[in-house]
Structure 1
């Protein structure tokens, strides 16, 4: 940045935010005395902020965050009594004295700082006009006292701290009626000082609550009717999902995974909100049948009910969820035949039915093709019988990407009053077929060789172990990297990579003669490190404010990896 900028003596607004400057900012005593707005966010400036910044007494808006400034950034900033907005995202700040000076403050953004002596300032000595407070990752251990009676608060972000104990009554006060975003996630909270727990907020506004990743106990807190995102995963919450959930008719995300919730699901769960896009109830103790109430107008893109105690059949009304991309019902007690009718869903990418009581033959499609967008299917640990569905493999066109120009990212983007978030962002270059531990018979279909067009693959996994398959394993580039674990437990199989050779006339003919640099669709266990790296790069979860969502795909991958390793160890012990 040229030093001549210091000569602009009458400058009132200087906004250089989100550029690629470098070096030190040309501070100079007195030359910016007319400034009302200074925005240097995300500019890569470095060096010390001089005490002379305290001479910019007309300054109302100060943004210094996302730079590499050092020193006592706020040493003289107490003189800036006209400040309405302050955003500083690094440094050590003793905030008590400063809060008593900024009587006009409306926005306080100090996330990612090392704050000290913060809890002594009271609401009687600080601004009563604050609407936004961002104190994420500030090493807080208590709720700051100055928050009490901040009745104008619209956004409060205290996530990623070390706040212990219970949520105080004053934070749940009905006077906090302007609040439309409360983020208390990733702390050490154990409960609430008030019962029943009624979360604050304005019925007429769009409201987001993130209570996830704490140690909260007891029943679910009751949100206001205007709630859009209700996030309470990774706690120790108990009880049922109450009937009040049926009144949240603009809810977009309901994430209650990894708790101790139980009981039957409310019958309204599939139709209480036309806006619901994410339903994540995995790893609880829900039982009974899944409500058969999903409506045609459904916007559901993600449904994860895995790791519960559900029984009965898959609800046929899921056919109405035309926007569904991710469906995980694994690790329940569902007893049903293969849901071939789900193949008509135009966007379904991930189908996980593992570890249930699915049974019967997987019928070949009579007309047309189903599951054309499918990239990951896990049917392991069930009771499927009959031959592998060779025609179905031909229909899975999403596993036949020919070149990198066709690659894109699947994502479910939600919008809440201008705030964008992405629940899951799944690279198109993921592919996996897991059919292990069933009762399939016959040969591995030659049609598997048609799934060969991928040039870049982060997950190429194929597992048919522990079935009753027979005959030669298809050979060629796709199968060259498989290890024995993909085929173990099928005494009738022969050919590479197994040590058992095929007899004459039995040799596989499924050679892959495709030229070029294409890699196989399925590789062995050695590629798990690649998928974990590749998937993490493609995963985006969270709101601008730092709201966190569960990552079902990552959990599924880790679970498969652990299962595979355990199975390998068991087989090795048997061989020994």
Structure 2
């Protein structure tokens, strides 16, 4: 499939699962996707999408709370189909459509800008994968509102700042990957963060602590030889000036 995300999809008010991955879709992620009331599974991975993620995209009613998600009509249960979605790892055994989780996959595109804080509204979301884009700015603290989140992959972007310590509140989080960004500061400790491997944090030269086994306290730099020379020179000039000034006073006093 080529071109933009088809505009006629906005008419499918009963749409629950949408997989448009591995195509040649261009343009931006349309904000109107957030108006589809029953949509809880979106996969736009491996396309050519550009621009910023619109805030409206994260207004998905079916993901606003666990209650609204559970009240969503699961019409696909009537279909005698068995699948294993491409984006789910071997650790998540979703072989029947009944077990397809609330998820957003927008991996390996060319999306820019920051991750909208509105993502924190989707409290029923279990999987969020935005890896392989060009997202910048901080990791939103609002992600800590996603108390059902099990998998979060933000690797291979240009994210900066610190990893929010509030993410330790995500007690179901079993996968957290932020490798190859420009993050800095200490890796949160405690809770599930003590179980994540080193590879999930590598590629961030300014990250420290945790499994990286690097100190977060920079050692005091030793004075450079040039600095010592400058100090000696300044002291010498000051002494010379005082001696010269004293000589002038002595001459004046004799006169």
Same-fold call, TM > 0.5?
yes
Show the counterpart of 1:388. Answer: 139
Distance in 1, matches of 2:35 and 2:194, equals: 41
- Equivalent-residue separation in structure 2 for 1:444 and 1:434 (angstroms): 13
Structure 1 position 373, deviation (Å): 1.3
**RMSD (Å), alpha carbons:** 2.0
Counterparts of residues 45-64 of structure 1 (less than 5 Å): none
Report the counterpart of residue 351 of structure 1 in structure 2. Answer: 104
Deviation at 1:369, TM superposition (A): 4.8
Indicate the SS of the match to 2:7: coil
Please identify which structure carries the higher strand content.
1
**Contact 1:469/1:492, CA 8 A, preserved across alignment:** yes
User: What TM-score, normalized to structure 1?
Assistant: 0.30
1:434 aligns with 153
Q: CA deviation at 1:314?
A: 1.8
Equivalent runs, 1:292-331 vs 2, <5 Å: 292-295=7-10, 298-331=13-46
| Aligned equivalent of 2:167 | 448
Secondary structure of 2:128 counterpart: strand
Matched position secondary structure for 2:46: coil
Cα shift readout 1:265-284 (whole Å, capped 9, x = no counterpart):
xxxxxxxxxxxxxxxxxxxx
* Structure 2 contact 32–57 (Cα < 8 Å) conserved: no
Moved over 6 A (4+): none
CA distance in 2, matches of 1:485, 1:466: 10
**Which protein has greater RCO, CA pairs closer than 8 Å, 6+ apart?**
2
Secondary structure of the residue aligned to 2:144 is: helix
Question: 1:386, 1:329 → 2: CA distance?
Answer: 22
Cα deviation 1:346-389 (Å, max 9, x = unaligned):
22420000100100112334xx9521211101000000001111
The alpha-carbon distance between structure 1 residues 502 and 460, as it changes in their structure 2 partners (threshold 3 A), is same
Q: Measure how far apart 1:296 and its partner are.
A: 5.5
- Counterpart secondary structure, 1:497: helix
CA distance in 2, matches of 1:461, 1:362: 19
Per-residue Cα deviation, 1:124-150 (whole angstroms, up to 9, x for no partner): xxxxxxxxxxxxxxxxxxxxxxxxxxx
Q: Is the 8 A contact 2:30 2:54 kept in 1?
A: no
Q: Deviations over 1:427-454 (max 9, x none)?
A: xxxx1000000000011011111112x4
Deviations 1:40-67 (A, max 9, x none): xxxxxxxxxxxxxxxxxxxxxxxxxxxx
1:339–1:350 distance in 2 versus 1, CA, 3 Å = farther
Separation in structure 2 between the aligned mates of residue 314 and residue 373 of structure 1, nearest angstrom:
21
TM-score normalized by structure 2? Answer: 0.66
CA 1:485–1:320 in structure 2 vs 1: closer, same or farther (change >3 Å)? same
Match of 1:464 in 2: 178
Unaligned runs of 5+ in 2: 64-101, 220-255
Change in Cα spacing, 1:394 to 1:437, as seen in structure 2 (3 Å) is: same
Which has the larger share of helix? 2
Task: Give me the whole-angstrom Cα distance separating, in 1, the residues matched to 2:176 and 2:120.
Answer: 21
User: Is this contact kept in 1: 2:17–2:41, CA < 8 A?
Assistant: yes
Distance 1:369 1:441, change over 3 A: closer
2:208 and 2:107 map into 1 onto residues whose CA distance is 26
